[in-house]
């Protein structure tokens, strides 16, 4: 036992000695020959002869420098080379990058792919990959980033993958293997179809390596051939698009899986899982064994419109209900409630998410009710301070309920945040209106609290001219904040926090100064009137705690995080925060209202206590 342990420790020590972490430098001749881990981005472009020579990208040098590398942190791009294989990466096991400093534009629907972790394209002489150890390629980006792939393999005319090699690469996260050739011993019959060319679809195909595009087919005589070709298809590695045809019935009797390799992007109709549109004579479309799909996008998986006769049969609806998170875009029928929840771990995950959202709404609703009850029991005057405070409390309640009903998401199998709140019911496509409502509520709540903070010391001390100044300042802040809010949401939506965060800071600073002044004034009150002092000090504490918590939530905001995205030193911190906010942002935003409501409820009986320094009699001088 002790000898085995000693040998194990010795082997691990030897391995650690041999492991060398390297940073990529150019030319490659400066690198040591025994690097086992590499950090950096490399682009080997065969069309750029000058770069190839200057950086020493010749095959023998690549073999010498990269042969022992097991882990690569960064991106690798190999295009337009005359390499016959990539055997210089024979030890490479994993590649990972987070694309630091890159900007991703989700609105750019004309670009199929902008970045990839491991990008191999247009190498006409490559016949095999020669990367037997590769197990993982990761694009470390948020699920909402649609134009990024992990392993990207395309347009390598002579490349041939083995059956096992294909499936190992295909199952990697965000991989694209479009139109690959499978060679050697195979377990299934592989084939592919060119875009919109239904005439080259072979019979007997089991694994279709591309999608199915049936577009503008007016000759119905091909229908029997298509059904014969589809009769053996078990998997499709792309979308199924049936658009503007005169076909009457189609069936996929053995199809059980659709693995779409494309991103949808702004409802680009070629990129969804199923797209069935404009088929006037279609009466039947069946997928009796379809049980699984994978998709990089967040759009509806089935788009149905303009099919005058075809609608969902009962077996179709039953099928769609069994597929996890299967959603339908159809102006006339939704085939029952979608998305649909499957059994097992997915169900438990969804139950937990739904339970948290119901609990948030329930707790916040109860807190709002208690706050209203206590507010109605308070003695309130018609002074500006009291009216502003009442408006602030009611606006907090309205904002709390609105956010708890609207800012609600369920994460699907691909970790896309699917809206299930108000915006999903009324305006699923246009979230700008709901963002504007939420931001207007938030802005005016802060302005009202700032008004109360500025006006309160003047109200207590009976400073007439200063009260007018505080009131005027509040009006100016109100107009500036709301105009900035509307401008930003209309033109620069993602920079909203840049406009709102200064308001949170201003509120916190004035709250600190104002409440400190009130506490200082209260400390000068004679001892016999100390009972008048306590409610005012507690109110100061309440207002300060609310301003502090608003500032903390403002610091947490997603938009503020992007203020630091241009700093190379903070790239990883910004990316980590993006992940955290993406998955937990809505939860924190909904639950933080509970804390504010609890603070308001705990101190509300003191908030409306009438008090003035004029009520304190001036002590008479003691005669000698």
Q: Which residue segments constitute the domains of the chain, with CATH numbers given? A: 16-101+111-182 (3.80.20.20), 190-329 (3.80.20), 345-610 (1.20.1070)
Number of C-beta neighbours around residue 621 at 10 A? 6
3-state secondary structure of 305: strand
Q: What is the DSSP string of 239-253?
A: -EEEES----EEE-T
CA dihedral 565, 567, 572, 578 (to 10 degrees): -10
Cis peptide before 339 (omega within 30 of 0): yes
Nearest to 212 by CA among 232, 191, 242: 242
Q: Are 81 and 48 in contact (CB under 8 A)?
A: no
3-state secondary structure of 377: coil
Distance, CA of 397 to CA of 369 (rounded, Å): 9
Mean per-residue pLDDT, 450-465: 72
Nearest to 253 by CA among 274, 224, 275, 233: 233
Q: Are 518 and 540 in contact (CB under 8 A)?
A: yes
Residues whose CB falls within 8 Å of the CB of residue 247, separated by 6 or more in sequence, listed in order: 214, 217, 220, 223, 226, 279, 281, 282
Mean pLDDT of the chain: 77
Distance, CA of 427 to CA of 430 (rounded, Å): 5
Nearest to 250 by CA among 266, 231, 273: 231
Tokens of 508: 């916190």
At 89 the pLDDT is 92
At 340 the pLDDT is 55
Q: Residue 597: which pLDDT band, with cuts at 50, 70 and 90?
A: very high
Distance, CA of 260 to CA of 240 (rounded, Å): 9
Question: Residues 340-381: pLDDT tens digits?
Answer: 555 566 677 788 888 999 999 999 999 999 999 998 888 877
In the predicted structure, residue 390 carries a pLDDT above the cut 80: yes
Name the helix (H) or strand (E) containing 295.
none
The span from the first CA to the last CA of the chain, in angstroms, equals 98
Q: Are 598 and 545 in contact (CB under 8 A)?
A: no
Mean per-residue pLDDT, 544-550: 89
Residue with tokens 């000759």: 219
In the predicted structure, residue 401 carries a pLDDT above the cut 90: yes
Distance, CA of 76 to CA of 79 (rounded, Å): 10
In the predicted structure, residue 428 carries a pLDDT above the cut 70: no
Nearest to 409 by CA among 597, 286, 588: 588
Mean per-residue pLDDT, 105-117: 53
In the predicted structure, residue 271 carries a pLDDT above the cut 90: no
Nearest to 539 by CA among 466, 473, 599, 616: 599
Q: Residue 470: which pLDDT band, with cuts at 50, 70 and 90?
A: low
């Amino acid at each position: 036992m002790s000898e085995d342990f000693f040998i194990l420790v010795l082997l691990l020590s030897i391995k650690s000695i041999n492991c060398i972490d390297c940073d990529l430098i150019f030319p490659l001749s400066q690198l040591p020959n025994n690097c086992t881990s590499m950090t950096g981005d490399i682009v080997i472009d065969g069309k750029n002869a000058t770069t190839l020579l200057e950086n020493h990208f010749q095959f023998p040098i690549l073999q010498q420098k990269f042969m022992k590398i097991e882990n690569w942190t960064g991106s690798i791009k190999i295009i337009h080379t005359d390499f016959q294989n990539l055997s210089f990466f024979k030890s490479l096991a994993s590649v990972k990058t987070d694309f630091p400093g890159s900007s991703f534009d989700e609105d750019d629907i004309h670009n199929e792919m902008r970045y990839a972790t491991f990008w191999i394209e247009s190498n006409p002489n490559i016949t095999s990959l020669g990367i037997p150890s590769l197990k993982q390629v990761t694009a470390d980006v948020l699920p909402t980033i649609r134009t990024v792939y992990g392993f990207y393999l395309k347009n390598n005319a002579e490349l041939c993958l083995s059956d096992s090699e294909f499936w190992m690469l295909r199952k990697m996260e965000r991989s694209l293997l479009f139109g690959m050739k499978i060679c050697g011993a195979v377990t299934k019959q592989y084939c592919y179809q060119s875009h919109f060319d239904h005439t080259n679809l072979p019979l007997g195909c089991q694994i279709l390596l591309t999608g199915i595009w049936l577009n503008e087919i007016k000759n119905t005589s091909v229908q029997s051939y298509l059904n014969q070709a589809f009769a053996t298809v078990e998997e499709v590695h792309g979308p199924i698009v049936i658009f503007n045809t005169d076909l009457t019935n189609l069936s996929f009797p053995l199809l059980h899986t659709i693995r779409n390799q494309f991103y949808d992007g702004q409802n680009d109709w070629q990129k969804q899982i199923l797209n069935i549109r404009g088929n006037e004579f279609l009466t039947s479309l069946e997928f009796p064994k379809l049980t699984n799909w994978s998709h990089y996008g967040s759009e509806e998986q089935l788009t149905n419109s303009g099919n005058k006769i075809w609608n969902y049969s009962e077996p179709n609806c039953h099928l769609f209900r069994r597929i996890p998170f299967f959603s339908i875009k159809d102006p006339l029928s939704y085939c029952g409630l979608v998305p649909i929840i499957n059994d097992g771990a997915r169900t438990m995950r969804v139950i937990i998410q739904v339970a948290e959202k119901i609990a948030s709404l329930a707790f916040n609703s109860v807190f709002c009710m208690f706050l209203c009850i206590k507010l109605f029991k308070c003695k309130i005057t018609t002074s500006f301070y009291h009216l502003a405070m009442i408006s602030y409390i009611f606006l907090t309640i309205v904002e709390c309920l609105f956010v708890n009903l609207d800012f609600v998401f369920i994460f699907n199998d691909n970790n896309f945040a699917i809206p299930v709140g108000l915006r999903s019911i009324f305006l699923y496509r246009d979230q700008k209106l709901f963002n504007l409502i939420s931001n207007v509520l938030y802005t005016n709540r802060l302005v009202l609290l700032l008004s109360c903070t500025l006006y309160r010391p003047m109200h207590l001390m009976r400073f007439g001219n200063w009260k007018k100044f505080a009131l005027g300042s509040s009006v100016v802040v109100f107009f500036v904040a709301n105009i900035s809010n509307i401008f930003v949401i209309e033109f620069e939506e993602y920079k909203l926090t840049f406009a709102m965060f200064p308001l949170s800071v201003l509120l916190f600073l004035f709250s600190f100064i104002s409440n400190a002044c009130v506490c200082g004034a209260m400390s000068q009150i004679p001892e016999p009137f100390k009972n008048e002092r306590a409610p005012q000090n507690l109110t100061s504490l309440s207002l300060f705690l609310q301003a502090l918590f608003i500032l903390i939530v403002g610091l947490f905001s997603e938009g503020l995080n992007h203020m630091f995205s241009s700093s190379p030193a903070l790239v990883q911190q910004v990316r980590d925060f993006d992940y955290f906010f993406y998955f937990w942002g809505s939860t924190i935003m909904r639950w933080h209202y509970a804390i504010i409501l609890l603070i308001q409820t705990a101190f509300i009986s003191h908030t409306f206590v009438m008090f003035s320094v004029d009520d304190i009699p001036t002590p008479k001088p003691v005669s000698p």
